[in-house]
Homo-oligomer: A and B are copies of this chain.
């Protein structure tokens, strides 16, 4: 034996290496324990180390991107030392972050070169007026309008009666030193709308704020933004309180179409939003009247329900919305806890099931700024897909159901503290290793955990192509209960809930239907524009769900097309990010309008090829395994 030495960054002395030894083995000898959640099968990627120098052979690079490889990363459990080596072992958190959040585009970074004077539709200017005199009997309003014109070039200003009522008092009590907040589209000759007149001294101590809001069927997210700098002052999310009235959009529509159901749903989502806004104001010390503008993304049903518009037609053939392009609204008529005369910009949707969350998402994802064929997917309670480039955009909506949000799954839950978000299963023992959000005892399984779990079950042979659980395996984790066949992910004594956390055959079926709907959607869109899925250059994943998704596992169950790792990107909540960009920049807002106008919507329920594609995709990963070469390779590996 012998021949090489290995030097680890955290240990002073080098250790001797026998030929063919794995990095994990050598490290162990050096006294370094490298965490291997998947049991050393090269599937979790958590044992990545950086080879500073020396020769190694990587037996598997499944969980490594090209960038990782270029940086010298290798999986300790899959890498054989073949010379004198020098190795850096990153602390586990760093690896974890590199593999998840490091890949998330930094959502709230102020757009480069943000210039509120040019980009912002809402502006606040300080005006120092000369008081009226017998030589200058100009009316109060005329005095303000004239000073504003001189300061900004704004020619026509619109106001409500109530604003005019208070003008004289403010002018006199502020000694004619005022701050005027207004909104103007920036079009030549367009009329500006007055938002607020306040004493200049008051405005000097208060940022001019805006809200970017995403109303998801499950989760509402707000960003409180300083409109002058573009900085995000506070971010917060909360369950949409409407959840108590139905988990998906269809049940909400049904509830909202009966009696006072619409009013109830409207009040619930407003309570959610306003609770978040009030908390954000408390945390940042900002008066809610300093919020002059809100820009909202959300699916069409959520938008209708927030704005009190009857949603019935969305659900009934021919599935039309009441409105896709909303007029600019007043905060008071919407009911958001901001300045009553502030403006609410509900972003435009495309169709009943492709809403403003998608148009905003397409903007945030930058689809129109690349000539490459790009696939954008937002999986929430529904799955919306956009295929396109700078030249063209096609879109469809797949009624995936809420499985990816943990709903309709026996032990499903949202991606929240206590949720199992990733699973690795030992191919020999069928024992799972789980990553739980918050590192606490598990309470249930969230969407990404579910995908990860089923992918592992498939690769290790616990389920077959059709999703049937193999009850003949020699492990207590596989069993038959009153609910049918199931696999135990966590035993009662490990769980926070004091009961076994399991996945059932029914759960797997629900997941299959959901992923098949989405994969079939890809196929239909690709067919419509005669583009092969393999020629897609970029797959951008949005939605809060996308943040936690493990691409390899998603490919493993046939949810995402089997493309090289580098082509995937996680974008996080693209709806709120798009709303944020539109909040800041009129050009971004105009681009969303162009996106909405140019996107071609394919109605899947009217599409003949959809059902066929759906049926073919109801298997793990697909009836046609040649579409999933990497999965085929992993199976061979395992076998």
Contact = CB atoms under 8 A, between A and B. Distances in A.
A33 B191 CA distance: 69
A313 B321 CA distance: 50
A136 to B, nearest CB: 8
How many copies of this chain sit in the oligomeric assembly?
Answer: 2
A218 to B, nearest CB: 24
A585 B168 CA distance: 32
A327 interface: yes
A318 B167 contact: no
Interface in A141-178: 141-142, 145, 157-162, 164-165, 167-169
Contacts of A254: none
A164 B320 contact: no
Contacts of A322: 139-141, 164, 167-168
A601 interface: yes
Question: Number of contact residues on A: which range applies?
Answer: 35 or more
Interface string A590-615: 00000000000101001000000000
A307 interface: yes
Given A187-B189, A320-B132, A603 B313 contact: no
Contacts of A308: 161, 165
Interface string A324-344: 111111000110000000000
A317 interface: yes
A327 B137 contact: no
A138 interface: yes
Contacts of A138: 320
Contact of A159 (B137, B159, B324, B327): B327
Given A140-B313, A169-B310, A323 B133 contact: no
Most chain B CB atoms below 10 A, which of A158, A168, A169, A319: A168
Most chain B CB atoms below 10 A, which of A159, A309, A324: A309
A176 B619 CA distance: 45
Most chain B CB atoms below 10 A, which of A137, A141, A169, A319: A137
Interface string A293-326: 0000000000000011110110001111111111
A548 B328 CA distance: 51
A79 interface: no
A340 to B, nearest CB: 13
Given A164-B307, A310-B168, A334-B161, A324 B134 contact: no
Given A322-B168, A323-B167, A603-B134, A329 B161 contact: yes
B603 A137 contact: yes
Nearest to A168: B322
A139 B309 contact: no
A334 B145 CA distance: 22
Nearest to A334: B161
A187 to B, nearest CB: 7
Contacts of A164: 307, 309, 322-323, 326-327
B601 A318 contact: no
A158 B190 CA distance: 13
Nearest first, the 4 A-B pairs at minimum CB distance are A141-B323, A139-B321, A139-B324, A132-B320
